Structure 1
């Protein structure tokens, strides 16, 4: 499958290097202090092949710009209640923006129209009582109600057994997937071999959409 694959929530240098060489498109770092995958210092290795994504939750624009500069971020992923105006402001600084939305009902997709033109990708995830991923899958059939122009990444509980379902899921705006906790040995540490097997089962070929 020709798609974007993002591996999120990485923290440790050697582990980042192991995943970087697999050919994934994006590697995400979480700058949200309440996350168990919070990255509080610069690892000795940062992705060279994959694009770097910083994940933020209701963070001040000044702090986002500071992290973006320190870590050489290519993308800013917003996982809180950030407004369309906030997204437009960061976009105007030249950053590519991924805005996350929790999807439980078709009506949850309506708000995405307010962000058209200010985001490069949306990320559709499972609702949770706290910010960030739940490790659970939502009902992908809800996305048949999405008819916006912005492409999206599919997130929420994707695991090593999801390859078949992903091959069978079709939507004209689906650009790729976001994987995290279901490929971990502990929070922030990914099982690179498991990711490699999953990519093989997915018949993965990196997307050139980035």
Structure 2
């Protein structure tokens, strides 16, 4: 099972998380997120431009780029040019799309050679119908809790509605997963479950993960992590 820790931005914190045996880290590029990649309160992007050349990456961010974990870039309604620039700059392995990106948008990115994760907000089984048009257009779906914003709510949706998911695309389970969710993770079964996405439930503050909580959680679910 893939373990993804999202909302990472501190190089030392990433180093600490990496040794826990997780698989992917999520780097958020959405300007509306409190977990956006920043440095001392300043955007890692050039203040006058929306993109940043690799030659101008601050030294403090180089450990992120050189991290051996798979890097997932999280975007919301970003242009293809911006995503391409960030993918090249940060050596992203996946683009995770949280906005109104269409199946055609995803297909265009596929043709450029990108691996994709498309996020969907879920509350009822009816919400799963929106995934149909994306079959074959992305590598993974990510099922998150339905809310009124593009960012996560920190709340868990009723995972039992996923019994209605009959698609072929594997998915990551997201939304309000916390240390106390270990039992529910061990009990959850679905043939297309590929992994879990961890974020705010394991934070000391936005963007800074609690290593102790992550370590104990990973230990608690290890029998399910196969």
- Aligned-residue RMSD, C-alpha: 1.3
Deviation per CA, 1:46-80: give whole Å up to 9, x if none. Answer: 16331000000000000000000000000000011
Aligned to 2:95: 76
Q: Which moved more, 1:38-47 or 1:87-96?
A: 38-47
Aligned to 1:37: 35
- Name the CA distance, whole Å, in 2 between partners of 1:149 and 1:101: 15
Matches within 5 A, 1:121-160: 121-160=140-179
Deviation per CA, 1:135-174: give whole Å up to 9, x if none. Answer: 0000000000100000000000000011111111101101
Structure 2 residue corresponding to 1:86, chosen from 83, 96, 105? 105
Aligned to 1:21: 19
Structure 2 residue corresponding to 1:176, chosen from 195, 202, 205? 195
Considering only CA atoms, is the larger Rg found in Structure 1 or Structure 2? 2
- Name the CA distance, whole Å, in 1 between partners of 2:139 and 2:222: 25
- Name the CA distance, whole Å, in 1 between partners of 2:113 and 2:21: 25
- For CA contacts below 8 A with separation 6 or more, give which structure has more relative contact order: 1
Structure 2 unaligned residues grouped into runs of 5+: 38-42, 45-56
TM-score (norm 2): 0.88
Structure 1 residue corresponding to 2:123, chosen from 104, 107, 116? 104
TM-score (norm 1): 0.94
Structure 1 unaligned residues grouped into runs of 5+: none
